[in-house]
Homo-oligomer: A and B are copies of this chain.
Amino acid sequence: MVGIYRSKRLFLGLLFGFVISFSLRVHGQNIWPMPKMASSGSSTLRLSRNFELRTYRSNYLDSSGILKEAFERMVHLITAGHTAKTDFPASNVQDSAGIVLNKFDDTRTSLPVLAGINIAIRSPNETLNFGIDESYYLHVPDTGSILFARIEASTVFGALHAIETFSQLCYFNSTTKALELHSAPWTIYDLPRFPYRGLLIADTSRHYLPVPEIKSVIDSMAYSKLNVLHWHIVDDQSFPFEVPSYRKLWKGAYSSSERYTIDDAADIVNYAERRGVNVLAEIDVPGHTSSWGVGYPSLWPSNNCRNPLDVSNEFAFEVIDGILSDFSKVFKFNFVHLGGDEVYMGKALNDNNMTLSDGYRYFVLRVQNIAMSYGYDIINWEETFNNFGDKLSPKTVVHNWLGERVAQKVVAAGLRCIVSNQNKWYLDHLDVSWQAFYDNEPLTDISNPDQQKLILGGEVCMWGEQIDMSNIQRTIWPRAAAAAERLWTPLEKLAKHPIEVRMRLAHFRCLLNQRGVQAAPLDIFGRYIPQDPGSCINQ
């Protein structure tokens, strides 16, 4: 009850009401992330109750239904859980194909009716991987006898981005009970600035995340056009993953009900790919491996020293080979992540023949070769570069996390780099605001175009020491979305109008909530609690 809130709230409420009207009506372009080019008008259209997908002149056959499912998900999302009216009287206009359409079938508002979307895709290929063409063209007309939106893309995955963008132009009209599209005509041309736009969420060793939760996060990634889920599967605390080649490894799981089968992994990869999201699997070696010895105690250097893995123990390399062999059957992304971070030199890396640092280097390079033998390119955390960058395989992508000035050194050395500097892009750092996430520029102090190309993109990291099913989504969102726009939108369009960016992100946060994502209020820091009653768009 808390009656003391009452009077104050009312006046805030009225103020909020005004601000929202402003935000929803004046800002036609509430798209997140902002496209490369977008022009809009002032017409409102109503989606036909027979709103349909067409693929006229498309080379993509959609034999596995990726496009059809995405279209159906989109229509479902636009309704935002409302019961849309479907009994508008039909006027039985017929289009050229003889399909019954209704150009003006809303007797109350007589809005022009959008009959559907035609999606033309140039490539018949539906293999997702790093560096594919994600660009798209979207046009929504507001004049003509029969109105169809038009999407053109090189790949089905570009078309998925276009469908997501289209969904953000539409809304459920609570007065007419119809699905409507605002600010038509629209003409949008769009493509990402960086090919790698990642989110590390699945730190599933510190806390187990149920499979449906991982899928929910994949859904939310697609809403902001992130395209790499970095699955940090195992770590010191637990080994929840089934490795058919070494079945005892998942004895290191917290419990029999906190495990992922190899079929679960295949299911997650398939689910992600159908949404344009790659899954990057990681085994973090030689450190962060204490849980490996629960099933195979001989992997522990000794009972009082349980990591890093022992460089003089051939069995360690056999197990890693088995893991990567099994990975290669399920994780089809070009890259595998081999960790290599926070290796605290101990006896384990010592060998009669080498020093501690030699042992560390030997271990990392040997594991790189194993991974490459399975066709993978390699990602390693930055310590490997910091310690022996000149020895790393040229196929190595260095994953920056510790330092501010590492990316510049990596690309200067001719290696590729992913930016995740912890002071800006670690989601478990709750004191970092969404503005700081938004402002973190991967190309800082990298002016040479050839070196710029070596920055593949960036990744925000949701480490799991204090994260579980109960708070992960609200810790990720909306801050991860701020980074997503930094990674997608052309530099010259970013952060030109702070108030507009904030209002648009607030709108996107409300959209995430509508779609079942527990995105937290924007203010003030990560995982914030609404302090007062109010509209989601003002919090």
* Complexed CA–CA distance, A428 and B259 (Å): 34
Residue in B206, B211, B529, B531 whose CB lies within 8 Å of A82: B211
* Complexed CA–CA distance, A254 and B2 (Å): 20
Q: Is A98 an interface residue (CB 8 A)?
A: no
Q: Is A520 an interface residue (CB 8 A)?
A: yes
A316: min CB distance to chain B, Å: 17
Which chain B residues lie closer than 8 Å to A287 at the CB level? 3, 6
A57: min CB distance to chain B, Å: 36
Interface range, A side: 35 or more
Q: Known contacts A258-B535, A513-B210, A516-B212: does B264 contact A82 (CB below 8 Å)? A: yes
Copies of the polypeptide in the assembly: 2
Contact with B along A180-214 (1 / 0, CB 8 A): 00000000000000000000000001111011110
Which chain B residues lie closer than 8 Å to A513 at the CB level? 210, 213, 468-470
Q: Is A238 an interface residue (CB 8 A)?
A: yes
Beta-carbon nearest neighbor of A383 in chain B: B1
Contact with B along A486-510 (1 / 0, CB 8 A): 0000000000000000000000001
Residue in B215, B254, B261 whose CB lies within 8 Å of A534: B254
Q: Is A537 an interface residue (CB 8 A)?
A: yes
Q: Is A167 an interface residue (CB 8 A)?
A: no
> Which among A80, A174, A287, A467 has the highest number of chain B CB atoms within 10 Å?
A174
Asked whether B535 lies within 8 Å of A6 as measured between CB atoms, the reply is no
Asked whether A465 lies within 8 Å of B2 as measured between CB atoms, the reply is yes
Asked whether A521 lies within 8 Å of B254 as measured between CB atoms, the reply is no
Contact with B along A523-539 (1 / 0, CB 8 A): 00000011111111101
A408: min CB distance to chain B, Å: 21
Which chain B residues lie closer than 8 Å to A252 at the CB level? 13
Q: Is A56 an interface residue (CB 8 A)?
A: no
Q: Is A290 an interface residue (CB 8 A)?
A: yes
* Complexed CA–CA distance, A401 and B14 (Å): 29
Beta-carbon nearest neighbor of A266 in chain B: B83
* Complexed CA–CA distance, A520 and B467 (Å): 10
Asked whether B210 lies within 8 Å of A539 as measured between CB atoms, the reply is no
A1: min CB distance to chain B, Å: 6
A37: min CB distance to chain B, Å: 27
Asked whether A81 lies within 8 Å of B211 as measured between CB atoms, the reply is yes
Which chain B residues lie closer than 8 Å to A91 at the CB level? none
Which chain B residues lie closer than 8 Å to A213 at the CB level? 513, 516
A199: min CB distance to chain B, Å: 16
Asked whether A254 lies within 8 Å of B82 as measured between CB atoms, the reply is no
Which chain B residues lie closer than 8 Å to A237 at the CB level? 5, 9-10, 12-13, 533-534
Contact with B along A285-309 (1 / 0, CB 8 A): 0011011001000000000001100
Pick 12 A–B contacts, CB within 8 A, sort by A: A3-B341, A6-B288, A80-B212, A173-B256, A216-B516, A237-B533, A257-B514, A466-B529, A470-B474, A470-B521, A471-B520, A471-B530
